[in-house]
Structure 1
């Protein structure tokens, strides 16, 4: 049986080469770098978005601010932010992480806000009746009830960031996008296809793992209600 030809054949040959995976700067190294940038970007976004969204949802104020921040951050293309940062001297992974963190803010902010704002009013009133302070109501009542939406926001955000990180290669950064960039630069389109497939598979694997984590993070009574 003859070997596959064309771009698909080149991609399969490249992916089946053990050195492609294990050599320094190979797929495993680039995937690790890709995941590290994702973790850092999402952590930065979460450190800003979740506390702000929780406070705004608890206070009942700031709906206009949430909408404005969401629309403003979505209106700016991630690649545009990377290139803007590059013009100020920030290149590679640093520029990509900052741009990806900015891109990750809207979903986390909206989901946290809506989750806290939509917490069961009866549970909130019962907590007030027990003399709980506003801070305790937020941390012990509203946020646990918002877990499902917050976890869903994290899941969506992480997958989106994983799919966005390949843009790092356009600013001299690493990650799996480097495979795509190198393939385009050398006209090895089999590598371009292989790089795209690797990013897509990584997104699917992470989404599957996070789906399980989201279910485990949801309190049992809420899981039963969803079912």
Structure 2
């Protein structure tokens, strides 16, 4: 179990951006806001239904429906409708908070001893006095149980905020996975688990103080509170430890995709396991490779959408996958110490240098003419406002601008590090989104970022009339698409099929077929088959 990230003092400094204390504060802010909003909405409704007996069907079914909604799916829907920011996250978390508070308020009111309520009315109390002085105090134990349940759920689920560029403890999980840093992932899991335990203990103590021991529920609670508290603490602690140990198992091998025997051809079978990165073009290329091999009677297993380069290269080296589409310049920059050698920029120069630094047991096949480069892209309005034509033009205004890209961009030379060292550019804010995907595109369209890292073949550039900034210093090298394969999976049949695909791939036809996936929303497998058929490869 690698806990180096968790126990590194540098990650606990309040003055350091992205430190664990800062992430905890952001995480708690989302939790508190969601609990306040959810309570304001659900509590009055639950009390009214429980007090009057009207609408009990609504309370029960609203609770069941709310619990069945997938929080991440709802979040992505809200981002699509409202754009990035805190609002979509709060909506998704509030929907999670409402059901337990609503149903517990209703249940607390309906399970009261009606004789006590009738006695209060018989003493001449007004309805409002009965509610506030009798029913509400007696219902508090059940209501607090619902509130504690809601709090624990939202603490665990608030990690999804990081998926749409916000802070919080989810940053440790998402950023750690993006760069293959499982010590960071494990730290995030442990801190979330501990935070949940601590919050539950605080709420348990608050419940002991708030609930009157004079009411029947309070008297019963007084007798059994200590064992119940111990039970809940043990349960929460066990859940946290289980989560931590599960993720530490990933850390033990440094790769969640790895297994004891390896996969694909490394097992001695003829099956070729094909992987891809976590963006549409890579998955399309992986599917084209898969169908081309299947046409030659090669058994294929698909394992697409693995993640960033740091993650899928590890999977390739340990045998979890055998083959994937790569980009020669980006791969060279990732593998060569200190980045690509000076003066290397053309496709042939890049390929020559790349072959020198390939990991043992891997090889590249013939590269295609198709090229898809990283770009720095802005809207036409931003380009006009700041007179932007090249990346160099960003230097005098970068301290006013926000850039969006995949979380791994923070630590790559072909990201923030290279922009600062080669161009002297340091942006005001970096917003971690996705690798040239819909989050980045939508954020650029809606003005939530000023500069986006978008791939050059992305159809959104033409659709939205974006401006791609020239790269005069060649931070982004030639990026020809090339198959990267384990040597144990390679043979004349495999290389022949893949080289034939590379011979037919061009930047123009790749852009056309990618638009069918991204714009026309056609099935990736159907688009891959169309490419192979129209180019005489199947």
Q: Is contact 1:92-1:174 (8 Å) kept? A: no
- Could you tell me which residue of structure 1 aligns to residue 175 of structure 2? 182
- Could you tell me which residue of structure 2 aligns to residue 4 of structure 1? none
Q: How many residues were matched structurally?
A: 218
User: Which runs of 5 or more structure 1 residues have no equivalent in the other structure?
Assistant: 1-7
Q: Is contact 1:27-1:176 (8 Å) kept? A: yes
- Could you tell me which residue of structure 2 aligns to residue 30 of structure 1? 23
Q: Secondary structure at the match of 1:13?
A: coil
Q: Secondary structure at the match of 2:54?
A: coil
- Could you tell me which residue of structure 2 aligns to residue 105 of structure 1? 98
Aligned equivalents of 1:159, 1:216: Cα separation in 2: 20
Pairing of 1:60-71 with structure 2 (within 5 A): 60-71=53-64
- Could you tell me which residue of structure 1 aligns to residue 115 of structure 2? 122
Question: TM-score, normalising length from structure 2?
Answer: 0.40
- Could you tell me which residue of structure 2 aligns to residue 52 of structure 1? 45
Which of 15, 25, 42 is matched with 2:6 structurally?
Answer: 15
Q: Is contact 1:14-1:20 (8 Å) kept? A: yes
Q: Is contact 1:151-1:217 (8 Å) kept? A: no
Deviations 1:33-54 (A, max 9, x none): 1001100001011001111100
Aligned equivalents of 1:150, 1:141: Cα separation in 2: 14
Bigger helix fraction: 1
- Could you tell me which residue of structure 1 aligns to residue 133 of structure 2? 140
Bigger strand fraction: 2
Aligned equivalents of 2:84, 2:131: Cα separation in 1: 40
The structural deviation recorded for 1:27 is: 0.4
- Could you tell me which residue of structure 1 aligns to residue 220 of structure 2? 225
Deviations 1:38-72 (A, max 9, x none): 00001011001111100100001211001221122
Aligned equivalents of 2:198, 2:82: Cα separation in 1: 34
Q: Secondary structure at the match of 2:49?
A: helix
Q: Is contact 1:92-1:169 (8 Å) kept? A: no
Q: Is contact 2:173-2:185 (8 Å) kept? A: yes
Aligned equivalents of 1:93, 1:21: Cα separation in 2: 25
Q: CA RMSD in A?
A: 1.2
Which structure has the larger Rg over C-alpha atoms? 2
Deviations 1:67-125 (A, max 9, x none): 22112211211101100001013324322221111111111011100111122211111
Q: Which moved more, 1:214-223 or 1:52-61?
A: 214-223
Aligned equivalents of 2:44, 2:120: Cα separation in 1: 20
Question: TM-score, normalising length from structure 1?
Answer: 0.92
Aligned equivalents of 1:61, 1:88: Cα separation in 2: 34
- Could you tell me which residue of structure 2 aligns to residue 167 of structure 1? 160
- 1:209 matches 2:205: no
Q: Is contact 2:43-2:105 (8 Å) kept? A: yes
Q: Secondary structure at the match of 1:14?
A: coil
Aligned equivalents of 2:220, 2:8: Cα separation in 1: 49
Which 4+ residue blocks in structure 1 deviate beyond 3 angstroms? Answer: none
Aligned equivalents of 1:161, 1:114: Cα separation in 2: 21
Aligned equivalents of 1:116, 1:139: Cα separation in 2: 11
Q: Is contact 1:108-1:150 (8 Å) kept? A: yes
User: Which runs of 5 or more structure 2 residues have no equivalent in the other structure?
Assistant: 224-538
> Structure with the greater relative contact order (CA < 8 A, sep ≥ 6): 1 or 2?
1
Q: Is contact 1:93-1:174 (8 Å) kept? A: no
Aligned equivalents of 1:201, 1:99: Cα separation in 2: 23
Which of 61, 65, 68 is matched with 1:72 structurally?
Answer: 65
Aligned equivalents of 2:85, 2:72: Cα separation in 1: 12
Q: Secondary structure at the match of 1:85?
A: helix
Q: Which moved more, 1:150-159 or 1:87-96?
A: 87-96
Aligned equivalents of 1:171, 1:206: Cα separation in 2: 25
Aligned equivalents of 1:134, 1:224: Cα separation in 2: 25
